[in-house]
Amino acid sequence: MTTNFKLTLLIENDLELLNQIEQIDGSKLSLIESSHYDGDTTLIPIVITTTAIIIKQLALILVKYFDSKKQIKIVYKGMQITCNSVDEFDKIMTRLTQLDENE
């Protein structure tokens, strides 16, 4: 992946997690305060500008998150794709990266 890749995630409104993601070198994170996201008030959307390296660092941060049985949702073209593990996260990100390169 040569260019910046924009990723929209739905994650729990967890300040510690958000801080960790924000501290990844080179990442640009925008928190979106939404009046309504499928009526689920515990999940919040974030838009993050990433590169291949940032995605790897993101996966490292999410290991603990998945270990505590939490899930994230990657939002891509109107679909919410649920990830329950780092393996799933890696698999989906690899596919999205391929699509981004093709476009």
Closest distance between another protein and the C-beta of residue 37, in Å?
A: 7
- C-beta of 25 vs 78, nearer to another protein: 78
Binding site for another protein (CB under 8 A): 6-8, 30-39, 45, 47, 73, 75-82, 92, 95, 99
The residues pairing with 22 across neighbouring beta strands, listed in sequence order, are none
How many residues are given for the chain? 103
Closest distance between another protein and the C-beta of residue 33, in Å?
A: 4
- C-beta of 81 vs 86, nearer to another protein: 81
- C-beta of 23 vs 30, nearer to another protein: 30
Whole-angstrom distance, CA of residue 94 vs CA of residue 24: 19
> Distances from the Cα of 90 to the Cαs of 36, 37, 39, 55, 59, in angstroms?
28, 25, 28, 9, 7
Whole-angstrom distance, CA of residue 6 vs CA of residue 40: 23
Closest distance between another protein and the C-beta of residue 97, in Å?
A: 13
